[in-house]
Amino acid sequence: MFNAKAYSVASATSPFEPTTIQRRDPTPHDVQIEILFCGICHSDLHAARSEWSGMPTVYPCVPGHEIVGRVTKVGSAVTRFKTGDLAGVGCLVDSDGTCPECQTHHEQFCPSAVFTYNAPDKHTGKVTYGGYSDSVVVDERFVLRVPSNLDLAGAAPLLCAGITTWSPMRRQGVTQGKKVGVVGLGGLGHMGVKFARALGAHTVVFTTSPAKKEDALRLGAHEVVVSRNANEMAKHAGSFDFILDAVSAEHDVNAYLHLLRRDGNLTLVGAPEKPHPISAFGLIFGNKSLSGSLIGGIRETQEMLDFCGEHGITADVEVIPMQKVDEAYERLLKSDVKYRFSIDMASLKAE
């Protein structure tokens, strides 16, 4: 075991404080990574404040599952990484590797999946600690190659926001000639716009805020629709092949089902607290489908990173020092960021 610097919360109401955590020494199959940047995901806030009743937080909690850094040590059996390589770690750090989900490269659905933080850690007997730290040790199977041409601060959110929006687009066959809608222009939505455009689709952003039109076009949208304008919405009725809904607030999903063409799909990646009321007729007439999507498997995440490297895609980020994470959480609650926070772990050296 070795000591690593980190920031943790001691309770649901505590501020973040500097601390020292223990990381395991690399086993033969492990990769040790010096963390350079870690993105802030809204789920970090939920976990830090223990807001998920089904997944109570174990304290102290070190969040962070959008990790990029440089390999500092590899185990004797590691074949895919060497010291000095750029590497990333997303939402998962282990799974059983043998179940049907793992065998089909859907490790995120493995019954024994181990999340990057606040999950049982078989190595320490405690819980896993995330990327708000200067170092992490992860099984080689869950370490990802980060293209060297990408800005690392902007690459960090790809490990969650990126794969969350990429996976349903690939599953629904988004490509040139398709018409794609993105509902909500936030941390997830802005990545959806970039991917849809890069995949060749005609990309339309739906927003409640007219002020976001200019930014949506900058990010790659061909059109922007103010969803509160009934006339603008009506012009697009029955025309979309796929709509990605990235809104976590309560809203009318049926309005978007109406915009799908026959056999079109609407996928939810935002998770409002209250269930959506869905019109059965909105699905039945037109053979339309409504689905959800949870991150992606390791192979698919690597595919996404490689695509980003080829197309120069990263998240739009505001880089902050570790010491300002509490302030970032408060701003996140107000949607006061364009479009993700990325923590510069060099700031930990000052502690």
User: Got the DSSP string for 251-305?
Assistant: --THHHHTTEEEEEEEEE----SSPPP--HHHHHTTT-EEEE-----HHHHHHHH
What are the two backbone dihedrals, phi and then psi, of residue 233, each rounded to the nearest 5 degrees? Answer: -65, -45
Q: What is the CATH number of the domain that holds 268?
A: 3.40.50.720
Q: Which amino acid is at 2?
A: F
Whether 243 and 326 map to the same domain: the answer is no
- Residue 185: predicted pLDDT: 95
The DSSP code for 61 is: B
Q: Which two tokens stand for residue 93?
A: 């750090």
Q: Give the pLDDT confidence of 35-73 residue by residue, as tens digits.
A: 999 999 999 999 999 988 778 999 999 999 999 999 999
CA distances 262 to 1, 42, 217, 257, 286, Å, are 57, 34, 27, 10, 4
Bridge partners of residue 180, in order along the sequence: 203, 242
Half-sphere exposure of 342 (CA within 13 A, CB side): 28
Residue 335 structural domain: 2-160+296-350
Q: Which two tokens stand for residue 342?
A: 């990325």
Confidence band (pLDDT; 50, 70, 90) for 236? Answer: very high
Whether 140 and 30 map to the same domain: the answer is yes
Whether 243 and 260 map to the same domain: the answer is yes
Residues in the chain: 351
Whether 145 and 132 map to the same domain: the answer is yes
Is residue 351 over pLDDT 80?
Answer: no
Rounded CA gap, 211 and 221, in Å?
14
Domain count, the chain: 2
Q: What is the CA radius of gyration of the chain?
A: 20
Query: Exposed/middle/buried for 272, CB within 10 Å: 0-12, 13-18, 19+?
Result: middle
CB contact set of 246 (below 8 Å; sequence gap of 6+): 165, 182, 183, 184, 186, 188, 189, 192, 269, 270
* Chain-centroid distance, C-alpha 143: 16
Domain boundary among 245, 273, 292: 292
Domain boundary among 247, 266, 292: 292
Q: Which amino acid is at 11?
A: S
Q: Give the pLDDT confidence of 277-317 residue by residue, as tens digits.
A: 999 999 999 999 999 999 999 999 999 999 999 999 999 99
- Residue 94: predicted pLDDT: 97
Domain boundary among 269, 292, 315: 292
Q: What is the CATH number of the domain that holds 306?
A: 3.90.180.10
Please give the average per-residue pLDDT across 176-181, as a whole number. 98
3-class secondary-structure state, position 206: strand
Whether 34 and 135 map to the same domain: the answer is yes
- Which candidate, 122, 11, 111, 114, places its Cα nearest to that of 56? 11
- Residue 55: predicted pLDDT: 84
Whether 222 and 277 map to the same domain: the answer is yes
What are the two backbone dihedrals, phi and then psi, of residue 139, each rounded to the nearest 5 degrees? Answer: -55, 135
Whether 143 and 243 map to the same domain: the answer is no
Rounded CA gap, 1 and 135, in Å?
12
Whether 311 and 287 map to the same domain: the answer is no
215: left (phi over 0), alpha (psi -120 to 50) or beta: alpha
Whether 128 and 229 map to the same domain: the answer is no
User: Would you say the C-alpha torsion 153, 156, 161, 163 has a positive or negative sign?
Assistant: positive
3-class secondary-structure state, position 303: helix
Whether 88 and 137 map to the same domain: the answer is yes
Whether 166 and 153 map to the same domain: the answer is no
- Residue 249: predicted pLDDT: 87
Whether 20 and 117 map to the same domain: the answer is yes
Is residue 153 over pLDDT 90?
Answer: yes
